[in-house]
Structure 1
Amino acid sequence: MASAVVAAQGDAVEAWLQEEPSADALMMRARVRVQQALGAYRAGERGVGVLVDRARSACGEAARNGPADPVPWVCLLALAQLDWPEARRRRPEHRAQPPEYMLPPGPWALLHEADRRDPGSREAWHRMIQALRAYGANVHDVVRWICTWAPEGSPLLLLPLYLHAEHYAKERARGALTPLYWTTDPISHYTGRALEGWFWYADRTEWAPQDLNHLAQALFSTDLYPQAAQVFVAIGPFVTPEPWKYVAESPDLWLEQFERARDRCLRAGAGGTRYAARRR
């Protein structure tokens, strides 16, 4: 939703709709309104409920005008994390029964609609995990389940790396973890699985910079420098703050942390191509 973040700060989409009321414009409006609702919620602003209703209405209109497009359903998944904590006020579609009995209730029907239009959608599953986490579910169990069926080349194989990076940051802030966290068997397993099952199989034109950065960080933190070197080369200038801000000495030093890790790994990888990092 990067373009929606920028558009959410202005009226460009509304102007686009007035000039050209197309399905693409409606999709962008849905993304923009969702981003506005999420931003207001994170900032603790008033009137979030009104923004959520506007966003949900925009999603419905976009879905009607583009029935084969997964975007409205991905947007609804993003909104699902803002559901009411009180059971009596929750939207029923946000607590649907899961496909496996060991999984928690959640917006599974919304995910199904997105997934059948874009099987294995990276964004849809990330939004699903965000919603389940907001509901207090054990998302680690959900991610382990996903990894049992995610095919070779699927970016879903990187989901455990996202959770481990975020968990590390939270626990380290409490003084509960050390860098030895990255040497545990589960993390080593999922890091290797992401490298061998995703990095070597995925369509390189569809690599997401955040996925590459999470894999590079995990490989670096597990001391697999030569393997990480190849991922750093793939990253090129497209460094992302996450996950580097989670493992840096302080969050504002994330770019320096990336550069140190990259340089060390490239030296270990026989001096691979160097790039000047660019913030995204």
Structure 2
Amino acid sequence: MISEAHFQKEIDLIITNALREDVGEGDHSSLACIPKNAKGEAKLLVKEDCVIAGLEFAKQVFQFLDPKSQIEFKAKDGDWLNRGDIAFYIKSTSQTILKGERLVLNAMQRMSAIATKTNEFTQVLKNTKTKILDTRKTTPGFRALEKWAVKIGGGVNHRFALYDMIMLKDNHIDFAGGIHQAIEKTQSYLTKNKLDLKIIVEARNLQEIQQIIQHKCIHRILIDNFSFADTQKAVQLIGDVCQTESSGGITLSTAKQYADCGVDFISSGALTHSVYNVDLSLKAV
């Protein structure tokens, strides 16, 4: 997994690029009618019940625009808020608040939706050993915030990108000539390049699991698109050889049944690719 410093660099890049995209040469609407040094205050109004996420990000945005900006939080990331609640008050120049408004809202609306969805999964799985994982099915350029939101919602981050973990999926296996070839080539590659990366291998059936567990270097087996019955058999086959992860169209209504099969993790792309933004609003005080 990536370090906190690396993760923060990703957040900084998001802020810089988003403001470049949105503000460009200047917020002419504000420049035209609001004095440069005019002070303002606004509140973040929650208009829909949710797990709030992105408060710390909002602080970073406003302080990036003006280090003197002051935020008074009325909640913390991960809190359940109801419609009508105030999440924070921001005091800064009026122009700063207006320049940061859209980025903060766009980010927090999506982050809160992801955190809320993740929290629903964690509640379903709370009496099991199984943890919910995100995937790389994220919005391009926005991944760090979406994975941050998953953690806020109580989930666990999978690999961040292609460079921080090895995951041998069906296409890798087929292109490499089979499971044994893919794993052996991967071990050779890691040794040659002096890389210490964990290896996950996807299995499409029980026969492939039997092949994978012959290799002692595997960190986790991805049990992909298995039935409940075959998932139970897979977990029994794997035993304590390595970690187990179920994936493939798992929903809130089926997650508990997969967890009851004994898997360590369930991964769901729906945490990040199938949510509807939470309704939030930034209003002048």
Structure showing greater radius of gyration is 2
Which protein is richer in strand relative to its size? 2
| Greater RCO (Cα-Cα under 8 Å, separation 6 or more) | 2
Normalising by structure 1, report the TM-score: 0.27
Normalising by structure 2, report the TM-score: 0.27
